[in-house]
Amino acid sequence: MDSLEKVTQGQQARALGMSTLAFTACFAVWTIFSIIGVQIKQELSLSETEFGLLVATPVLTGSISRVFLGILAEQYGGRVMFPIQMLTTALATLLLSQATTYPLFLLAALGVGLAGGSFIIGIAYVSRWYDAKNQGTALGIFGAGNVGAAVTNFGAPFLVVAFGWQQTAQIYAAALTLIAILFWVFTKDDPALVARRKSGEKPVSALMQLEPLRDPRVWRFATYYFFVFGAFVALASWLPRYYVGAYGLELQTAGMLAAAYSLPGSVFRALGGWLSDRFGARAVMYFTFIVSLVCLFILSYPATHYVVDGINGPISFSLATSVPVFAGLTIALGFVMSLGKAAVYKHIPVYYPHHVGGVGGLVGMIGGLGGFVLPISFGIVNDLTGIWTSCFMLMFVLVAVSLIWMHVAIRRQEHSKYPTLATENFLSDLPDNPLPAPVAN
């Protein structure tokens, strides 16, 4: 990375700090329906499936947009794309406050979903400021902007109670506009973009940026991200409704407990990046999946009442997960998810150093689609089974499949064309064959 030779630590810190702030704000907006959606559900008398679709719709736009936003960020730089994306999202959030019918809410939610596309812009921008040995940590710190979900789950209920959900949306739009302006003022173009402009090199075409998508490893990483990120977003949106419905809690209390899940699922992403740099991304992924299976197995068990024939007559007892135990398990789940999110994105700049935007966009899109598909699925299985814990049963199956696929793929690689890598550094998942730089047309 010759372009990094003259970069100072202060410039790196400013780029990382402003990107993390912008991503935090965008993520807070992206998950706004987790709170205002509960009130909208009551006002419109929505079914569980309709509510699931409402909270999931922003995730659809945020997921799909990551592919083209990643490519645009590679071509024109994150300093330009970040403010454009934030201002567009702020306008959609402002228009949301004027919606009155369910179809209009869905339409507004599509626009609000552009907030989710901020992730890949930041990944492409931040990764250009750091060398390979520090990218995991830097991207982990940036990814901690997922804490925006906790900001919404904690703060939005109080705004809704004090001002109403319409004014809450307007406040979010104003805050996002302000941060977009601050980002433009306090950041600079990344070193790689500056070097490219000086050399007169043309941007790589979108088609060339998508070339690595033929590599099956890209799709394997995307599947991991479907759970560690997609399920994180889904639960961040679903948990307030779960606490209200399953435990009968007030919205403010439900929001704070959901924030307790979102917080470790966000801030410890930086730790996941450091652990990936230190011990290897594979080791972190194994830890993530195994602990997730244990947590989800317990969370999946529905409240049950037993009656057995005793010596002196029937004996009845109940088995159920209390609110403190449930909250503790979700917090643990959020923690390992945060490690897994960082581990997945540790791979991308190493495997695909010249295709971070395209590959990162695809992986982010698949992960984001998990945040779209899963809330809808949660609502459907709730309606079909009538069991609150059915959402955790569904995620248990998802994690089990991901863990098995990962392990089988790793074992097969031991006998592939990278035998030295597989035997000497089994858990690193770092290649000796990163894709070369594409040639601009």
Q: Give the per-residue pLDDT at 206.
A: 53
Instruction: State which residues form the domain around 120.
Output: 10-424
Q: Give the per-residue pLDDT at 424.
A: 37
Q: Give the per-residue pLDDT at 441.
A: 40
* Number of residues that this document lists for the chain: 441
Q: Give the per-residue pLDDT at 12.
A: 86
- Identify whether 5 is part of a domain: no
| One pLDDT digit (tens) per residue for the chain, 441 residues | 455 667 788 888 899 999 999 999 998 998 888 788 878 888 888 887 788 788 778 878 888 887 788 778 877 888 899 999 999 999 999 988 888 888 988 888 899 989 988 888 988 888 888 887 777 788 878 887 878 877 887 888 888 888 888 899 999 999 999 999 999 999 888 887 888 778 776 655 555 555 666 677 777 888 888 999 889 888 887 888 888 888 888 878 888 888 888 777 667 877 888 888 788 888 899 999 999 999 999 998 887 777 788 777 787 777 778 889 999 999 999 999 989 988 887 777 777 766 666 677 778 778 878 877 888 888 888 888 888 888 899 999 999 998 998 888 877 766 665 444 443 344 554 454 455 444 444
- The DSSP line for 178-219 is HHHHHHHHH----HHHHHHHHHTPPPPPHHHHTGGGGSHHHH
- Identify whether 295 is part of a domain: yes
- Identify whether 435 is part of a domain: no
Structure tokens at 20: 């993390």
Question: Helix, strand or coil for residue 256?
Answer: helix
d(CA 338, CA 291): 12
- Identify whether 2 is part of a domain: no
Q: Give the per-residue pLDDT at 423.
A: 38
User: Are 139 and 346 contacting, i.e. CB atoms less than 8 angstroms apart?
Assistant: yes
Question: Helix, strand or coil for residue 149?
Answer: helix
- Identify whether 3 is part of a domain: no
Q: How many domains does the chain have?
A: 1
Q: What is the CATH number of the domain that holds 243?
A: 1.20.1250.20
Type and span of the H or E element at 183:
helix 165-186
Q: Give the per-residue pLDDT at 439.
A: 44
Cα–Cα separations (whole angstroms), residue 243 to 52, 135, 212, 254, 427: 15, 37, 42, 5, 38
- Identify whether 73 is part of a domain: yes
- Identify whether 432 is part of a domain: no
Q: Give the per-residue pLDDT at 432.
A: 44
- Identify whether 1 is part of a domain: no
